[in-house]
Amino acid sequence: MEKFKKLAGVAAPMPLVNIDTDMIIPKVFLKTIKRSGLGVNLFDEMRYDREGNEKPDFVLNKTQYREAKILVAGDNFGCGSSREHAPWAIADFGIKCVVSTSFADIFYNNCFKNGILPVVLPQDQADILMKDAEKGANSIIEVDLENQTIASSDGEVFGFEVDPFKKHCLLNGLDDIGLTMEKEDQITAYESKAAQMFPWA
Amino acid sequence: MSTAKTLYDKIWDAHIVHDDPDGTCLLYIDRHLVHEVTSPQAFEGLRMSGRKVRAPEKTIAVPDHNVPTTSNRNDGIDNEESRIQVEALDKNAKDFGVHYYPVSDIRQGIVHIVGPEQGWTLPGMTVVCGDSHTATHGAFGALAHGIGTSEVEHVLATQTLIQKKSKNMKVEITGSLRPGVTAKDITMAVIGETGTAGGTGYVIEYCGQAIRELSMEGRMTVCNMAIEGGARAGLIAPDEKTFEYCRGRPHSPKGASWEMALAYWKTLFSDEEAKFDKVVTIKGEDIAPLVTWGTSPEDVLPITGAVPDPESFSGGKIEAVKRSLEYMGLEAGQKLSEIEIDTVFIGSCTNGRIEDLRAASEILKGKKVKDGMRAMVVPGSGLVRMQAEEEGIAEIFREAGFEWRLAGCSMCLAMNPDQLAEGERCASTSNRNFEGRQGYRGRTHLVSPAMAAAAAITGKLTDVREIQ
Ligand code: SF4
């Protein structure tokens, strides 16, 4: 997995609340057996018309947001299904950080496995970044994972919380299967204890 | 400090393989359910790193999302991508030696219906699946939740999951339900109360008299939609009904092992002194038959209500409601019982079990689907379908004018050919009314099976209590 340390880029504003995984990546694109190439279908039904033409008023179709690296979104982002196709599509598009007042649990977890940093901010701070994002290409937002800060283009700096283990993995691009494999002995020990206590399981 | 534990605490503690000082735990997984959509990349990952499935005997795979529900499906799947996905699961199940119920097997069905039916899901277990509605299995007092594909690979390789504990929420439904009100209405009422993000960060334990009075099928319906309220999982403490349901299932314990399991299962309840971080109480008798009017499961109202005014909401929800009313083709103030529908879908892991089909058929007995309507029943598994045929329920549906399909997810998410057309309006017993969920620009109203049957008869969203 790619390391995430610092990021500076244009942020796309999507103030809508409850942006669900069906909006992020509609189910027709779940039929793939690969992880890559989903970026063109990110927000597909909002982004293209039935004939596949871009809808000019959708945020990611506007010139200033085509290279967006950050997304600032309304409350409860990523609700719905567990499909990891959602973060795959976001990352493949080039967005590496999503800011919201809250995220759905499974989506939040899935982000970290794919080099995306989800940042939770209180409403007033998220509002400031949303306004900033609306300014378009001239407003560069900066994210610093090591120091857990996000800065608006005007230099206003907000701190954010992130789980230390998840932070460690993201900073170092670690694959957690490898880390867990190192605990193989403990897993085996648990299994023999469980075989006594819960033989039916 | 009190040593009183919630049910969630007890299950959690029994599965800790390793815990770090910061609260990160390695949790052991007892059952891993797998379907064709969220697993191919995980198996591919195993192959690429030369890893095996650690516990194939605890891993159960079944194709459900993509499978056609028409009778000719054993001839093969037309859609090439769907076929490739199902074939990939066929191959992965074989190569890695996990339990498998292929399309041709009578036991095939929606993964969350097959698991309990086959006795894979048992009280006190940890159950995961690359699917958010894994919450369903919480009805057994099992800690069950959805995971992403990277985590599917993690569980396949290690039979564990890296987790941090959630907070405890208690949702108590007091008293009894009124006639015409069902488990689906309970679970929608809870989401209406807490919102779709209200459960974020929590595991919910549902309790109270109305929950106790539900059958296992009803309890699964309630837990199924815990995820729609944002919760990590939903739980219901096991009781005699749970034990009865589990007894004699193909993979439930037998003999001395059963007795040992039973003794343990009886310890699975929240201690009286246990502390919950949040408590929500709803009176069972206050719950009416509910419908959704918008494109979020929190957009629920009693069938006697009217479409709300966007301006009656606050913050970002105002824009979201405007957008969803436009999408749904509805006007503020319109009576819900006057909304005309085109299609009825009965099925899904929320409401595709035998009791759901019984409830709908009770309403349909001797009646006909309104002229010009499309009405479809998709049993949750091949065994549910068989039982419904034996009980004469299938016949009632057919005579009323319903299509009687083979098992799968079907129009719950419309990955197979069962889809709504643009603008088509559906009364559906599934769990999500998101934009495009049941087909591009299709419009979904979530309801209980009885309400879906009532709507099929009148052609409108209808208060089931008014159907004689
Ligand atoms: S029936 Fe619907 S919600 Fe349930 S597993 Fe299938 S697609 Fe998901």
- pLDDT band for position A137 (cuts 50, 70, 90): confident
Is residue A175 pLDDT above 90, yes or no?
A: no
Contact A195, B252 (CB under 8 A): no
Nearest to B131 by CA among B68, B204, B224, B7: B224
**Tell me: the pLDDT tens digits for A78-112?**
999 999 999 999 999 999 999 999 999 999 999 99
Tens digit of pLDDT at every position of chain B (468 positions): 568 999 999 999 999 999 999 899 999 999 999 999 999 999 999 999 999 999 999 999 999 999 999 999 988 899 999 999 999 999 999 999 999 999 999 999 999 999 999 999 999 999 999 999 999 999 999 999 999 999 999 999 999 999 999 999 999 999 999 999 999 999 999 999 999 999 999 999 999 999 999 999 999 999 999 999 999 999 999 999 999 999 999 999 999 999 999 999 999 999 999 999 999 999 999 999 999 999 999 999 999 999 999 999 998 899 999 999 999 999 999 999 999 999 999 999 999 999 999 999 999 999 999 999 999 999 999 999 999 999 999 999 999 999 999 999 999 999 999 999 999 999 999 999 999 999 999 999 999 999 999 999 999 999 999 997
Q: How far is A88 from chain B (nearest CA, A)?
A: 10
How many other CB atoms sit within 10 Å of the CB of residue B362?
Answer: 15
CB contact under 8 A, B440 and A34: no
Chain A residues in contact with B196 (beta carbon < 8 A): 18, 76, 79
Contact A156, A128 (CB under 8 A): yes
Cα A84 from Cα B16, distance rounded (Å)? 26
- Mutation target vs A (from B41, B140, B265; most A CBs, 10 A cutoff): B41
Chain B residues in contact with A58 (beta carbon < 8 A): none
CB contact under 8 A, B24 and A180: no
How many other CB atoms sit within 10 Å of the CB of residue B161?
Answer: 24
Which atom from ligand 1 is nearest to the alpha carbon of B111?
5
Cα A171 from Cα B4, distance rounded (Å)? 38
Q: What is the pLDDT of residue B74?
A: 84
**Percent of chain A scoring above 70 in pLDDT:** 100
Q: Mutation test of ligand 1: which of B430, B432, B434 has the most ligand atoms closer than 8 Å to its C-beta?
A: B430
Contact A92, A42 (CB under 8 A): yes
Q: What is the pLDDT of residue B2?
A: 63
Q: Does A177 touch chain B (CB under 8 A)?
A: yes
Report the alpha-carbon angle A190-A192-A198, nearest 5. Answer: 90
Which atom from ligand 1 is nearest to the alpha carbon of B348?
1
Q: What is the pLDDT of residue B468?
A: 74
Q: What is the pLDDT of residue A2?
A: 82
Ligand 1 binding pocket includes B38 (Cβ within 6 Å): no
Q: How far is A45 from chain B (nearest CA, A)?
A: 8
Ligand 1 centroid to B38 CA: how many Å?
A: 12
Q: How far is A157 from chain B (nearest CA, A)?
A: 24
Cα B224 from Cα B138, distance rounded (Å)? 8
Place of tokens 């009885």: B450
Mean per-residue pLDDT of chain A = 95
Ligand 1 binding pocket includes B131 (Cβ within 6 Å): yes
Q: What is the pLDDT of residue A21?
A: 95
